Amino acid sequence: MKHTLLITLLSIAMNFSITDVLAQSQHEPYASLFSQTKLSEKESLVLSALQKGYPQNRIRFARETAVKGFYEVILGEGVSYVFITPETIEKLDQINEKNRDLYFKHWIFGGVFYDMAQQKDLTAPLKALAQMIDVTKLPLELSITREKGTPQHSLFVFTDPRCPFCKQLEESLSKLNNVRIHTFFMPLAVLHPDAKEIAARIWCSANQAQAFEDFMLKGVAPQTKAACSTPLTEIERLAASLGVKGTPTLFFENGERVTGAISVEAIEKKLQALSQMKKTISKESK
């Protein structure tokens, strides 16, 4: 049943506009995000050319705006704009890393694309989409999983055991019920030199969840040195691929990202909204 619902949720919003995808993601516990946005054939070719020209820049989306030849582009977790001439459109299949700057000459990095007539920020929806991820693709075997009550929702947290804001978030999470929490260790050794060792000791503990909560909520550190292999290096690569740069970073089921400590009230409000929309989608899919 859960698998069937997941497939339904992943497919129900296909071919929506960006605004529709964001609206739908507030309702869907599992958003496939970029695959839900419909691109024209020309836009798909532009995206492919940009990806070939800038393979290291994680270009994930490109779509022409209301201004002809002016494209909105998602690079990593940010939004930029590029002007593309008709001449470049005719030669998209010839673009590569060496000649890219001859074709994609003029970029705008940062700022807001604003519609004065409608008094509307046109960049904001794309920025929100750029920050979201598909949580169904997270490698949960790299995380410590805790269940509280009968889980109705899942949360995904990147944390540093020495980070004070991470401890604030854990205080909030400890007050939740009926949730499943997947915690990925992301010790920031530059700021907290011993964080990696603490994370390793917790990971290698007989009861990982208990050891984690003892340290984060009670300040009781594991005394036994780490004597097992840890996923810290893999998580570091994962975080980089997701654009997670600070801790704590929390992801909700719909892929929405929150960086920094968040109150239990704010978390519960979001979970309540997700619960209501889960029920709505479940009824509509029957």
Q: What is the pTM of this model?
A: 0.75
Residue 80 has pLDDT above 90, yes or no: yes
Residues 98 and 176 in one domain: no
Domain boundary among 81, 107, 131: 131
Residues 265 and 166 in one domain: yes
What mean pLDDT value characterizes the chain? Answer: 86
Number of structural domains (the chain) is 2
Residue 252 has pLDDT above 50, yes or no: yes
Residue that wins the pLDDT comparison between 106 and 34: 106
Is residue 200 domain-resident? yes
Residues 69 and 105 in one domain: yes
Minimum mean pLDDT range among 6-15, 56-65, 148-157, 224-233: 6-15
Domain boundary among 108, 131, 154: 131
Residues 105 and 153 in one domain: no
pLDDT cut 90: percent of the chain above it = 68
Is residue 19 domain-resident? no
Best-predicted range by mean pLDDT (22-26, 113-117, 253-257): 113-117
Give the CA radius of gyration of the chain.
21
Is residue 154 domain-resident? yes
Minimum mean pLDDT range among 47-51, 97-101, 121-125, 260-264: 121-125
Task: Count CB atoms within 10 A of the CB of residue 272.
Answer: 11
Residue that wins the pLDDT comparison between 2 and 93: 93
Is residue 26 domain-resident? no
Residues 142 and 270 in one domain: yes
Q: Round to whole Å and give the CA distance between 102 and 70.
A: 16
Is residue 182 domain-resident? yes
Residues 121 and 89 in one domain: yes
Q: Round to whole Å and give the CA distance between 217 and 108.
A: 45
Residue 246 has pLDDT above 90, yes or no: yes
Residue 256 has pLDDT above 80, yes or no: yes
Full residue range of the structural domain in which residue 187 is found:
135-284
Residues 189 and 89 in one domain: no
pLDDT tens for each residue of 183-218: 999 999 889 999 999 999 999 999 999 999 999 999
Give 127's pLDDT tier (boundaries 50, 70, 90).
Answer: confident
Residues 207 and 193 in one domain: yes
- The CATH number of whichever domain residue 196 belongs to comes to 3.40.30.10
The whole-number average pLDDT for the span 63-91 is: 94
Domain boundary among 79, 97, 131: 131
Asked if residue 248 has a cis previous peptide bond (ω within 30° of 0), the answer is yes
Find tokens 């109150």 and name the residue.
263
pLDDT tens for each residue of 9-53: 333 332 334 444 444 444 433 334 455 567 899 999 999 999 999
pLDDT value of position 72: 94
pLDDT value of position 60: 86
Residues 158 and 279 in one domain: yes
Residues 106 and 86 in one domain: yes
Residues 206 and 231 in one domain: yes
Sheet arrangement for strand 107-109? 59-64, 70-75, 78-83, 107-109
Tokens at 12, concatenated = 């129900």
Residues 194 and 144 in one domain: yes
pLDDT value of position 167: 98
Contact indicator for 30, 253 with CB cutoff of 8 Å? yes
pLDDT value of position 2: 44
pLDDT value of position 11: 36
pLDDT tens for each residue of 268-285: 999 998 888 777 766 665
pLDDT value of position 36: 53
Residue that wins the pLDDT comparison between 69 and 283: 69
